[in-house]
Each structure stands twice: as C-alpha cells, then as structure tokens.
Amino acid sequence: MPIKGKNLPYKGQQAIKKEAHQAAFLQGIEQHGNIFRAAKDAGIDRTLHYVKWGNDPEYAKKFDDANKKFAHNMENEARRRAMDGVRRAKFYRGKPIIDPETGKQYFEHEYSDTLMIFLLKGELPEKYGDKARVDLSGTLTFLSPEPLDKPASAGESDD
C-alpha cells in the first residue's frame, strides 16, 4: 500500500511499521529530542519518521507526546542546574588545580543564574517577565480626499 504517493527506496522502509522500531524511535525522542539520533539508535532511516508523521495521526500524537516528555526532562535538568548546581573541576592553563590541603584536584560547586532567570520568567512572568508590551486597540480612520477604491483617471497625475 503506497503512502500518499511516496515512493520510499530506503533500505528497511517497512521498519517503522514494526512496533519495536517505533517504540525505540519514540524513546530516543524522549531522551535526546533529536530525530537523526533517535532514528539511528532505532535502526531506521529518519525520513521514514516524516512520512509516518505526515500520514498517521495516531503516530503524530505519540511523537508529539514524546517531544513534550523531552521538553519536561529539559526543564527538570534546568531546575536541577539552577537550584542544586553542578560540581566542576577547576583548571589553570590546562592543568588541574590541586588543593594544597588534600593533594587532590580542586572542585567548585556552580549554580546557573541564567537558568534561574529563565525559570523565574516562565513561572512568574508578571513579576520577572520582560516588561515590553504593546497593546493596539481603537478605530482606524483614513483621511483621503478620494475613496481609496476609486481608480485614478487616465489623464490625472500626482504632480
């Protein structure tokens, strides 16, 4: 059965129809949010996703759900980095800094102020959101000696 006139000459073109491949692809989207990587990990050609997505509403919904899960995972990671921070090894001129008291590599705990700002803007936009706002309302009136829909006669000029 052809898919809306698409001729798919790709190796393994039937693979995405198999539930295992589809599940692996969607799991890859949840984890990485990247179609190319998810298709590679699932062992399918990435173009098969686009054909299936454009022709199968049930699959399109599953794909959208997987994308939303990825977005939630990203948000959770942003919260973790902003609030809990990350432990980073410190270097000077490409060499590790050694703590003189312990003799071990020196680490610092860093937090992301930038991620915190974006999280606050998203959660409390009325307080932390960008203040630029444009409201347009009212009536628009054209002031013209002649109606705009009246064509100019052949002998008239704008001089």
pLDDT, tens digit, 9 for 90 and up, residues 20-46: 889 999 999 999 999 999 999 998 889
Task: Output the CA torsion sign for 146, 149, 155, 159.
Answer: positive
**Which residue in this structure is represented by tokens 């399109």?**
60
Asked if residue 17 and residue 66 are part of one domain, the reply reads yes
Residue 3 lies inside a defined structural domain of this protein: no
Residue 115 lies inside a defined structural domain of this protein: yes
What confidence score (pLDDT) does residue 94 get? 95
C-alpha dist (Å) from residue 44 to 18, 36, 50, 70, 158: 11, 10, 12, 20, 65
CA distance 113 to 101: 30
Mean pLDDT by 10 residues, the chain (159 residues): 41 58 94 95 90 91 97 95 94 95 94 94 90 81 69 58
Residue 16 lies inside a defined structural domain of this protein: yes
What residue numbers bound the domain in which 95 lies? 85-128
Residue 147 lies inside a defined structural domain of this protein: no
- The total number of structural domains that make up the chain: 2
Asked if residue 95 and residue 66 are part of one domain, the reply reads no
Residue 149 lies inside a defined structural domain of this protein: no
What confidence score (pLDDT) does residue 143 get? 76
What confidence score (pLDDT) does residue 158 get? 55
CB atoms near residue 13 (< 10 Å): 17
